[in-house]
Structure 1
């Protein structure tokens, strides 16, 4: 993804900073806790699942702070230093964190951290993407230029509870691998998380199967796994990276689609600008509503103790309203 790539010169400067910090004998990083499995996660859903499974046996540190869109974030030298001291580094993979390969190369040579791509085993969606025209496959349609096809993997695996089940199992296995003595505790907590995800999956399946409409329009192409797994089709204003500007003609074409399909709402997200969603809604004379890709929490959501399950429940209720 465009904004995830770290500039080579900046990355080299970051690595030099790590060397200088280490060589000057800086104080130890307070984020590491002796006697626990120290885990670095790349963004919110992995952090929440790791906390649920790790429990009192783990110290989980999330790299991306509240209110920051993961597509827009890149690591700093201190993040490399901290991760070098951890036992586990959990990242989504599937192209979400384009900075990971260089990041792992930059870790201290004596680091024993185990890097785990938690989306392994998910049936990944391959998308044909550029930035401009309505073009795609069932369950995963988008605006792109038909003359320029670029194949990308859709990284938004966690937005579907079915994929989240696979990711939770991978996280559990990684804990057991680095801390086998506490296997039974990880298994027990994992089972509780697994049961909650199964219940959420069942609710999505039941509630959405009763609705006659199947088409949704979203601000960026983050809902491919959700729409595929529950029999819906998404039409996205922007592509996978949420930073492409569609042409005016694309907005008009989508507005026509909205009217033809009787779509009542355009979905937008809290962590990215709602400008294009509101532009399309005004063009099509419909309302807007939130559909959250659960990439991170806003500061307000954090203060209100929102989590993956409360946000996904709100997503389900908004989908039900929109698809009636």
Structure 2
């Protein structure tokens, strides 16, 4: 009787998960292709790197639709079905995708998909910011996938991991290597091709890393005011000082006193621009800029492409180059 009750409880949980997920958000891109290595990715930068390294040997499916901001997105039931049939599931980790533990539990019991947290090995930045959506949650809360090895330095409930690792080209190199090794592990037959294409991508990322270092080091100013706290890794790796209107989540509500304090700092420090991003509302950034008598400019956390950027053929490198040019202009 106890065993039957337990099975019924599990079935109810699974049904609730499926119905909840099926009600959420627009569709992801792509579907399973037989005879290919199917790789499911959670959001844009991982998708781009996986496609570059995988080449013709893989079929990549990105869960996050074009023009959607990842912090509040949750997957659909079709995403569970596709991932159950895939060979590889690549997610950022570091607390970005708070839905991953339940998502993995919802996969078909016969699924052989390998789940890999591609930010593992990066020296995580800890913060006391909590966005209220379980992003950047402590290790115990967020990393419940027993099959994934990782070395997070998260500890305790008061500190949270900043998940925005990919915004720094230095961290992106580590992520690309993790993606390459995960592809080689599920498809050793094409190991050399993955290695070759990874080396080309790593060269481009290293060149971008060097360019950020050299160009930003020349500038007289290093303080940036941004709409949400997505640039900590960029700031740490290239000597910037980030001040955020909002916390880890772009929809966290700032307090009035914080805005007043930031406006004062902007005036006192002679800051010329407040940065905002394209996938979320620029209202608060514009309000602060008006209060401080300065202009606004885009600094893109490269969490996804807008429909227009996709049409133009933009990618991680073009967006990061634009970020660098905007930083150079703002910090003169």
TM-score (normalised: structure 1): 0.86
Report the equivalent of 1:165: 173
Whether the aligned pair in 1 keeps the contact of 2:130 and 2:248 (CA below 8 Å) is no
1:213 corresponds, among 217, 221, 227, to 221
Cα distance in 2 for residues equivalent to 1:151 and 1:280: 28
CA distance in 2 between counterparts of 1:194 and 1:105 reads 33
Superposed CA offset, 1:32-90 (max 9, x none): 11221100000000000000000000000000100000002001111101100000000
The corresponding residue for 1:321 is 329
Please tell me whether the aligned partners of residues 54 and 186 of structure 1 are also in contact (alpha carbons under 8 angstroms). yes
Q: CA RMSD in A?
A: 1.8
Specify the alignment match of 2:153 in structure 1: none
Counterpart selection for 1:183 from 187, 191, 195: 191
- Matches of 1:87 and 1:310 in 2, distance apart? 30
Q: SS state of the match for residue 39, structure 1? A: strand
Pairs aligned (count): 289
Matches within 5 A, 1:33-44: 33-44=33-44
Among 260, 269, 277, which residue is 1:261 paired with?
269
Map of 1:123 onto structure 2: 123
1:253–1:11 distance in 2 versus 1, CA, 3 Å:
farther
Report if aligned partners of 1:14, 1:76 keep a CA contact under 8 Å in 2.
no
Counterparts in 2 of 1:48 and 1:30: CA distance versus 1, 3 Å: closer
Look up the match of 2:87. 87
Change (3 A) 1:36 1:215: same
Is 1:228 the equivalent of 2:236?
Answer: yes
SS at match of 2:248: coil
Q: How many angstroms apart in 1 are the aligned matches of 2:231 and 2:123?
A: 14
Give the Cα–Cα distance (whole angstroms) in 2 for the partners of residues 208 and 157 of structure 1. Answer: 19
Hey, what does 1:311 align to over in structure 2? Answer: 319
Cα distance, 1:248 vs. partner?
1.9
Aligned equivalent of 2:201: 193
Residue 154 of structure 1 corresponds to 162
Q: What residue number does 1:249 align with?
A: 257
Q: CA deviation at 1:14?
A: 3.5
Structure 2: distance between partners of 1:125 and 1:300: 32
Say if 2:41 and 2:63, in contact at 8 Å, map to a contact too: yes
Which has the larger share of strand?
1
How far is the alpha carbon of 1:92 from its aligned partner?
0.1
Structure 2 partner of 1:291: 299
Q: How many angstroms does 1:322 deviate by?
A: 0.5
Instruction: Give the corresponding residue for 1:13.
Output: 16
For normalisation by structure 2, the TM-score amounts to: 0.84
Distance 1:130 1:190, change over 3 A: closer
Misfit runs of 4+, over 2 Å: 9-18
| Partners of 2:93 and 2:100 in 1: CA distance | 8
Shift of 1:10: 8.9
Q: Secondary structure at the match of 1:257?
A: helix
- Note the alpha carbon deviations across 1:272-314, whole angstroms, 9 max, x for none: 1100000000000000000000000000000000000000000
Distance 1:286 1:30, change over 3 A: closer
Report matched runs for 1:56-135 at 5 Å. 56-129=56-129
